[in-house]
Amino acid sequence: MSGGIDSTVSAMLLLEQGYEVVGVTFRTYDSMKDSCIAKEKGCCTIDSIMEAKRNAERMGFEHHIVDFRETFRRCVIQNFIDEYMSGRTPNPCVLCNSHIKWGELARVADEFGCEYIATGHYARIREKNGHVYLAAAADTRKDQTYFLWMLTEEQLRRTIFPLGDYTKDEVREIARQHGYVKLAQKKESQEICFIPNDDYRAFLRTNVPDYDERVHAGNYVDREGRVLGQHLGFVNYTIGQRKGLGIALGHPAYVTHIDAERNEVTLGNNEDLLATELTFRSLRALHIPEESSPLTAKVRYRSTPVEAVIQTNNRMGGCEKRNTPPLEGGAGGELLSLSFSEPVWGITPGQSVVLYQNDLVVGGGIIL
């Protein structure tokens, strides 16, 4: 329970379905954002924690606060820092869901004697051919399977997503009908919970001890390697960025590549961000339920799934499949290639690629 509308309404629905509910809110990071203090966005402050506790008490079930800050720092925050300092753009929500919201929470559920874990995510679970799959939510605008692809079958088998069949508007109406009018009007947070003021650059500057030694001015270059001008340090840029580059070339320029070792940022035009292939590190087993049905893939949360073909060791043509270093608590995974049926914009190393067959999540990985 975050103190927000989705997890609160999830608890309401579970109670109505006859479940015995135990509420758990965890501390992952203490960040005093103005938005948190104003109670406008659910995040990690003591205020949102206490709001979750009050909601649980109002509904008449027990509530616990657990401290996951050390694990969160070691697993999620450190990976976030390491990835950015290597020139990649991480997705911390994916790691948090797998390692914290399910990994650590499963241990807590066992301690409390709880058979299932339920959250306010917009997703569904479906069983097919003996396997349990993550499936897209009814509300396609809110579907969160992109952030949940790392969940294992074992984790999914003990998971309930009460909101999977509801739209966001329906969830707000349920809250109103139960007398939670202010909660129904509460704004949603789009920020990373541990980044104050949504400024990841300031966060890195504060949390990387040798930041000034590692981050300094370097060259903007074009795709032929010709120097175009000076940038402020590679970590200040992300793939696809157009604004805030501080350089005038007489035409719109976009970040198309980041080389952390050389401290170079490549600029190009919009078309330079289109690609038909990517390489990724697969971190979960692939289960394809229908061999005749095509796969689609998403490379960003808001991107449209594009038909794709995955290439294994026998078909990778010189790109050898090999093990890669593991994330903390996870398998190392294998290197695979993905070919798209049409160009995809803004493929970004460090982000997730999620594989679907119809509305089922059949695999995923970290883009290399």
Q: Which residues are catalytic?
A: 96, 193
Q: Among 251, 254, 252, which Cα is nearest to 268's?
A: 254
- The runs of H, that is alpha helices, within the chain are 5-16, 34-37, 46-59, 69-72, 78-84, 92-95, 105-111, 153-157, 168-177, 181-184, 200-207, 211-214
* SS3 call for 113: coil
Instruction: Copy the structure tokens of residue 14.
Output: 């579970």
- What radius of gyration, in Å, describes the C-alpha atoms of the chain? 22
DSSP single-letter state for residue 197: G
Instruction: Copy the structure tokens of residue 12.
Output: 């309401």
Instruction: Copy the structure tokens of residue 148.
Output: 């949940």
Please report, as a single letter, which amino acid is at residue 212: D
Angle between helices 5-16 and 168-177 (to 10 degrees): 70
Please report, as a single letter, which amino acid is at residue 224: E
* SS3 call for 180: coil
State the Cα angle at 89 between 187 and 299, rounded to 5°.
80
| C-beta of residue 287 within 8 angstroms of C-beta of residue 131 | yes
